[in-house]
Amino acid sequence: MTSRAITTLFLTDADVDSLLSVEEAISVVEQVLRQQATGDAANRPRGHDYASPDAYQAWMQAAAYGLGVCGFKTYTIVGGSGRFFVYVYDVDGGPPLSIMEANRLGQLRTGAASGVAARHMANEDASVIALLGSGLQAASQLEAFCAVRPIELVRVHSPTPRNRAALAERMTAKLGIAVEAVDSPEPAVREADVVATITTSTTPVFRGEWLREGTHVSAAGGAHPYATELDEATIARADAVVVDDPDQARIECGEFMMASASGALLWERVRELCHVVSGRVPGRTSDRDVTLFKSLGMALWDVAAAKAVYDRAIERGVGTRL
């Protein structure tokens, strides 16, 4: 495609939802992570401009040279409500290939990344999940885990009984497995093969001593210096500690920043997801390892997923030409 042939395509959240599944997003995210490991893709940490404590703009950039695209994501959060957009460009130049709403895209790519990490870090026979959190991102997390592991039972806990019950009912019907709402996180965590956190908590949502051998922990909630879904015991217990972007983790991963300040974590222990996916470093070395993946969110996932959505939109004649 040359720059002269480009007509910018606008795509809505509904378009994205109709064009990309969780399973397809997992494949796209895994592919671009392999490209990142070989230098064919690059990610830049997120930046922020604050108007007030509850009103800010954020932006993040990436280039997926192997896919022939680059781009950025920008979003505003005001009073807890957000609007998200991704701009995708051909690396050869010209106007954007697409401008798309990115709320649904963000759910898909975040869930997909957790699924990719679980594929490489969770035990192959992992079948029981403790899901802590029942907000907008929870469903795609659960779908992604079920796509990569033989999940049979999910126990969901969150502070609001109505929310966790609604998620359990909806996902039981959608996935065809037992998804149960529970009143306490402790029994769920103690019996889980995968513990997934997807909250906005500023205090730990479970205790590391509850984890049994072999558990994979996936922490995908909170990307700011005060986010603390995990306690220091969880970080200390982990035989493998992996993040999506180490540079971003040093400025946004509250749990790791605090653990580093107290001496509970050495940054030298922290590995990068792309190198786990490529096989450069192991996701686990035995069935008994406790493994930990902390997801902060990368523009690289957004750009790669957006390119897949754009390609399908062109094939199917979906979207509005600008």
**Structure confidence at residue 150 (pLDDT):** 98
Q: Do 197 and 288 belong together in one domain?
A: yes
CB within 8 Å of 268: residues ≥ 6 apart: none
**CATH number (domain holding residue 285):** 3.40.50.720
Q: Do 49 and 30 belong together in one domain?
A: yes
pLDDT tens digits, residue range 63-118?
999 999 999 999 999 987 889 999 999 999 999 999 999 999 999 999 999 999 99
Which residue, among 105, 35, 117, has the nearest Cα to 69 in the 3D structure?
A: 35
CA–CA dist 243, 117 (Å, integer): 10
Quote the domain boundaries for residue 273. Answer: 123-298
CA–CA dist 217, 145 (Å, integer): 12
Q: Do 170 and 248 belong together in one domain?
A: yes
Residue with the two structure tokens 């975040």:
110
In a domain? residue 41: yes
Q: Do 311 and 264 belong together in one domain?
A: no
In a domain? residue 206: yes
CA–CA dist 176, 84 (Å, integer): 31
In a domain? residue 178: yes
**Structure confidence at residue 79 (pLDDT):** 86
Q: Do 50 and 154 belong together in one domain?
A: no
Q: Do 188 and 79 belong together in one domain?
A: no
Instruction: Specify the DSSP class assigned to residue 203.
Output: S
Q: Do 186 and 251 belong together in one domain?
A: yes
Which residue type sits at 121? M
**Structure confidence at residue 268 (pLDDT):** 95
**Structure confidence at residue 219 (pLDDT):** 98
**Structure confidence at residue 3 (pLDDT):** 43
In a domain? residue 115: no
SS3 state of residue 111 = helix
Q: Do 91 and 127 belong together in one domain?
A: no
Q: Percent helix, strand and coil across the chain, each rounded to 5?
A: 40, 25, 35
**CATH number (domain holding residue 101):** 3.30.1780.10
Q: Are 167 and 155 in contact (CB under 8 A)?
A: no
What parts of the chain have a pLDDT lower than 70? 1-5
Q: Do 219 and 288 belong together in one domain?
A: yes
Name all contacts of 78-86 with Cβ < 8 Å and 24+ positions apart.
Answer: 78/54, 79/54, 79/55, 80/54, 86/302, 86/303, 86/306
Q: Are 242 and 278 in contact (CB under 8 A)?
A: no
pTM: 0.95
Q: Do 132 and 269 belong together in one domain?
A: yes
CA–CA dist 222, 305 (Å, integer): 21
Q: Do 236 and 311 belong together in one domain?
A: no
Three-state secondary structure string covering 135-201: CCCHHHHHHHHHHHCCCCEEEEECCCHHHHHHHHHHHHHHHCCEEEECCCHHHHHHCCCEEEECCCC
In a domain? residue 118: no
In a domain? residue 30: yes
Instruction: Specify the DSSP class assigned to residue 211.
Output: P
In a domain? residue 273: yes
**Structure confidence at residue 81 (pLDDT):** 86
Per the rule left: phi > 0, alpha: psi between -120 and 50, beta: everything else, 236 is alpha
Q: How far is CA 86 from CA 65, 72, 96, 248, 257, in A?
A: 17, 6, 10, 19, 29
Q: Do 293 and 307 belong together in one domain?
A: no
In a domain? residue 102: yes
Which residue, among 266, 262, 263, 265, has the nearest Cα to 234 in the 3D structure?
A: 265
CA–CA dist 44, 62 (Å, integer): 6
Please state the domain count of the chain.
2
